[in-house]
Chains A and B, each alone.
Chain A
Amino acid sequence: MGEVILQMKLIDKSFPGVHALDHVDFSLKRGEVHALMGENGAGKSTLMKVLTGIYTKDSGSIIFEGKEVEFHNTHHAQEAGIVIVHQELNMIGDLTVAQNIFIGREFKKGFMIDDRKMIEESKKLFNELHIDIDPRARMSDLTVGKQQMCEIAKAISHKAKVIIFDEPSAALTEKEIEDLFAIIRDLRKQNLGIIYISHRMDEIKVITDRVTVMRDGSYVGTLITNDCTKEDIINMMVGRVIYEEPKTHSMVPKDAPVVLKVEHLNAGKMVQDVSFELRKGEILGFSGLMGAGRTETARALFGADPKQGGSIYINGEKVTINSPEDAVRHGIGYLSEDRKRFGIVVQKTITENSTLAALENYMAGLFINKSAEKDVTVRYIRELDTKTPGPEQLVVNLSGGNQQKVVIAKWLVRNCDILIFDEPTRGIDVGAKNEIYKLMNRLASEGKSIIMISSEMTEILRMSDRIIVMCEGRKTGEIAIEEATQEAIMDKATRDIK
């Protein structure tokens, strides 16, 4: 590790009604990988946005290479050598790889863009990074992992001195994460300063040198990664100790009836001949890498995507599900991984969202029976312990965890006995995660059956009674929780990948 390249001192930033950053300090040295951690809403992203000129700070100072700087937009920051690799990929799908890498600073021959030179430069860049991507390929034809590599290559090509990785591994396979780490180590060797934002504790331990933790917009502290434990970091993040142990045995009674049976389900390339059973009161974990076909299986089961074949039995009876409407009628509820797009209407109240899927039960003639609607909403706010001033609160004003509870309430109101949770805790902070877990356990113990799709190994191991592993559209394994280990799951999850 070299001398300090970047120092942020007493950075303060407020938005109307929110004190987003409260005099935060942060410093980065050359040749180090510095993790920035904190729950959602802790202020990590805001801090990085202040650094890269997307937000203007209210007070405080940024010293970069010994000089005080203030960037007014990302372009400024890029030119100075500070670049960010975003969590959401910021690639332009309709352009080629080379065009993406050099967008905003194309080589030109007179009026004309010099595409040939851009391709050559991209090749050079990829060679340096040991990445094998054709610069002429269309960006949208690449896998998520490769797109991420392009994003990194783009960042590096800016003659970057500081690179910020914002949850880079969220969408990557194990293999791709390894490649990413190799690149990061390489960059570290070249004496760049690297800021690494991630929620994945195991990655932090593997790749970073120091960890800075933020909580509620404030700086909590900085640790040397090798000298601390996972628990130390988590404690700093949440300010309390939380339970993270895996489940040791199934909670489902041996004689619990099968409520859902899926046989030979086929839907497109991503769902090939998938069969499984779900018992009453069971939490069935679906594990696998990104793109294994878990969400697609759920969507096909739910009738959201067309099926090419397969039979579905509910309580032993064969049913036809061609649309979400059919699924809901048969008591299946689906909690999408992307709540804002599919799960809830954020600009509406909790009440309106809660009864959205079951409105026909709350009608008095042509009109909505407001009082019945309110009663049921209040009941579920209480039962699910949703933190809100009242049922008329707009969902947009709730935290991620409480939004998730509203979605759960929506399906419970509809009397769904089978609930599909797709990444139930994505975007939810550690404290609220725990509550969602408790709630899921309670629902299962009350006799609801749950399919839980999750990319987090700890979540799978902690919640599931049984685990189905998928890889490239096929079911590659079924593991009882008693025998489940990370290694066993990983082995099956990568079985088909050549």
Chain B
Amino acid sequence: MTKKKMVISQEVIVAIVLVALYLIFRLISSDFGKYTTFLSMMDISYYYVLMAIGVAFPLITGGVDLSIGTGMICYALAGGYLIRAYHCPTGLAILISVLFGVLIGLANGVLISVMGLPPFLATLCTCMITRGLGSVVTGSFAVPWPTAKQENGWFHSIFKITLENKTKLPLGLIWIILLMLIMQFVLAHTRFGRYTIAIGSNKEAAILSGINVKLYHVLVYVVSGLFAGLAAIAYAAVIKTVQPGTGAGMELDAIGGAIVGGVSASGGYGTIYGTVIGAYVIIFLKQGLPYIGFNANMQQIITGFVLIGAVTIDIIKRKVIK
């Protein structure tokens, strides 16, 4: 029971850190408090947070999915290319992008669960593959998705709507919160979620309990791929022009967010709300540090230290519990 108290406080701490960051940035830079800055920050957060929600599942099994960053770009390239080159309806292109993500997730799952590759290696391979695949599909050429003003650009309003008085609302935040609640429910109250934790905590025991561990282990990576696919749509809506060869490194921000949010780096524990809060800490740092005048190098260094801090807390937590 002592653990439970501690766990709650872990996520609460991260939430407090998030609020504190916001207030500090606001205090130092008045521009940071502008509504437009908030809107921009939300825009850019969606795909990182979606990736983080997805990758939380492999992380909780004690694995990792490094293919989500380049994967996201690859799926966005594929969807955008379909619209541009084949005049594919936007809805269908979105569906195909997401399915592409699911497919790569399935491939990861099969490599890891059925063929027994270490997650790090398997997803590193698919990371490279998706990176190259995106370039091949589009002929190494940046792919623009329809803009909000274009007829087939309706999908932008999934994430942001403009009211009649020109006020913009970050609608995407509502989807993020909704998905967070759904996935937290899935993790805490469904078999899939329970077995995700079981695999991360003691895979051998899970197998001996008669669970179809292979299947669930595959599904974990399918979920990760699915969310990378959803992130691709958010990316397309916000950035609009997708450049091949990019995306590497974005997975680290998502993974870092999940770990900052209390997902155990050694598996067996994590929450989705913690993951989302943690991802926002990383985003606030990335978006806020430029406002208070930290240059590029300092931003990276600070983010690195925050990650070290989060992982250290995780390690200490594990030790204390033992």
Contact = CB atoms under 8 A, between A and B. Distances in A.
The answer on A and B forming one complex is yes
Contacts of A89: 205
B210 A92 contact: no
Interface stretch (B46-54, B97-105, B152-160, B195-203): B195-203
B223 to A, nearest CB: 15
Nearest to A136: B1
Contacts of B268: 93-94
Given A93-B202, A95-B197, A95-B201, A113 B190 contact: yes
Given A74-B208, A86-B208, A94-B269, A106 B1 contact: no
Interface stretch (A33-41, A137-145, A406-414): A137-145
B205 A104 contact: no
A95 B194 contact: yes
A426 interface: no
Nearest to A74: B210
B41 to A, nearest CB: 34
Contacts of B321: 140-141
Chain B, interface SS category: helix
Contacts of B31: none
A138 B3 CA distance: 9
A434 B3 CA distance: 45
A375 to B, nearest CB: 40
Interface in A63-103: 73-75, 78, 86, 88-95, 99, 103
A115 interface: yes
A204 to B, nearest CB: 25
Contact of B197 (A91, A92, A111, A141): A92
Please tell me the size bucket of the interface on A.
20 to 34
Nearest to B186: A111
B198 A141 contact: no
Contact of A92 (B4, B189, B205): B205
A94 B211 contact: no
A90 B197 CA distance: 14
B295 interface: no
Nearest to B189: A112
A484 B211 CA distance: 49
A141 B3 contact: yes
B202 A106 contact: no
A137 B189 contact: no
Interface in A236-253: none
Given A103-B198, A138-B3, A92 B190 contact: no
Contacts of A113: 189-191, 194
A141 B198 CA distance: 16
Contact of B190 (A74, A111, A138, A141): A111
Interface string A330-372: 0000000000000000000000000000000000000000000
Contact of B194 (A78, A106, A138): A106
B1 to A, nearest CB: 7
Nearest to A108: B191
Contacts of B201: 92-95
B274 to A, nearest CB: 15
Nearest to B4: A138
Given A99-B194, A137-B1, A104 B209 contact: yes
A456 B208 CA distance: 29
A103 B200 contact: no
A105 B201 CA distance: 18
B17 to A, nearest CB: 24
Nearest to B197: A94
Contacts of A73: 210
Interface string B260-285: 00000000110000000000000000
A76 to B, nearest CB: 8
A105 B198 CA distance: 13
* Residue of B1, B2, B194 with most chain A CB atoms under a 10 A cut-off: B194
Interface in B179-226: 185, 189-191, 194-195, 197-198, 200-202, 204-206, 208-211
Nearest to A88: B204
Nearest to B211: A104
A103 B191 CA distance: 9
Contacts of B210: 73-75, 78, 104-105
Interface in B153-177: none
A90 to B, nearest CB: 4
A88 B189 CA distance: 28
Interface string B1-39: 111100000000000000000000000000000000000
A277 B102 CA distance: 65
Contacts of B269: 94
A401 to B, nearest CB: 26
Contact of B209 (A103, A112, A140): A103
B208 A94 contact: no
Nearest to B200: A94
B66 to A, nearest CB: 24
B190 to A, nearest CB: 6
Contacts of B202: 90-93
A112 B194 CA distance: 11
Contacts of A95: 194, 197-198, 201
B227 to A, nearest CB: 19
A112 B191 CA distance: 8
B267 to A, nearest CB: 9
Contacts of A104: 209-211
Interface string A132-168: 0000011011000000000000000000000000000
A211 B204 CA distance: 30
B191 A92 contact: no
Interface of A: 73-75, 78, 86, 88-95, 99, 103-106, 108, 111-113, 115, 137-138, 140-141
12 contacts: A78-B210, A88-B204, A90-B202, A94-B268, A95-B194, A99-B194, A105-B210, A106-B191, A111-B190, A112-B190, A113-B191, A141-B1
Interface of B: 1-4, 185, 189-191, 194-195, 197-198, 200-202, 204-206, 208-211, 268-269, 321
Given A94-B269, A137-B1, A141-B3, 10 more contacts: A74-B210, A78-B210, A90-B204, A92-B197, A92-B198, A92-B201, A92-B209, A94-B268, A104-B210, A138-B4
4 closest cross-chain pairs (CB), A and B: A75-B210, A90-B205, A94-B201, A94-B268
